[in-house]
Amino acid sequence: MNSTKTYIPDTERIEAERKWYLVDAEGQVLGRLAAQIAQILMGKSKPLYTPFLDVGDFVVVVNAEKVRVTGRKMADKLYRHHTGYPGGLKEETLASLLARKPEEVIRRAVWGMIPHNRLGRKMIKKLKIYRGPDHPHQAQNPISIQIGRK
């Protein structure tokens, strides 16, 4: 009887095929940008994609402060967290978080699109976000890619 085995890539092959991508967030819509970044981080466009392995690539995002949103999200979208103390629910609008910490806006959008488990925590570490146009990853020779429309 001839049985075929499912191919599972080994860690050496995964690491050998891992690339670095540079994404300019200037003028990009937040949700569309985050969806494309999540696809790259998970490795879904690669032939050796395996759902239970981290086969994705690194992504460097620059100009995070120049990302845009549609509609009335700047005033209406809220980011909430609880401190753990009674009455400790903290809320912040998208506009104030974007002014204070634009990297966190993109990180949270991408985190909502990848698995929420230890594999997802490993994937999100491959995301590097910077407020302005400069980044310290020139040594990795990131491939500049265009995501979405401007």
10-residue mean pLDDT profile of the chain (150 residues): values are 81 93 97 97 94 96 97 97 98 97 98 97 98 96 83
The pTM of the full predicted model, rounded to 2 decimals, is 0.92
Structure confidence at residue 150 (pLDDT): 52
Structure confidence at residue 147 (pLDDT): 84
- What is the CATH class of 17-69+100-145? alpha beta
The answer to whether 90 touches 83, Cβ cutoff 8 Å, is yes
Alpha-carbon distance 83 to 6, whole Å? 46
Structure confidence at residue 79 (pLDDT): 97
Structure confidence at residue 7 (pLDDT): 85
Structure confidence at residue 149 (pLDDT): 60
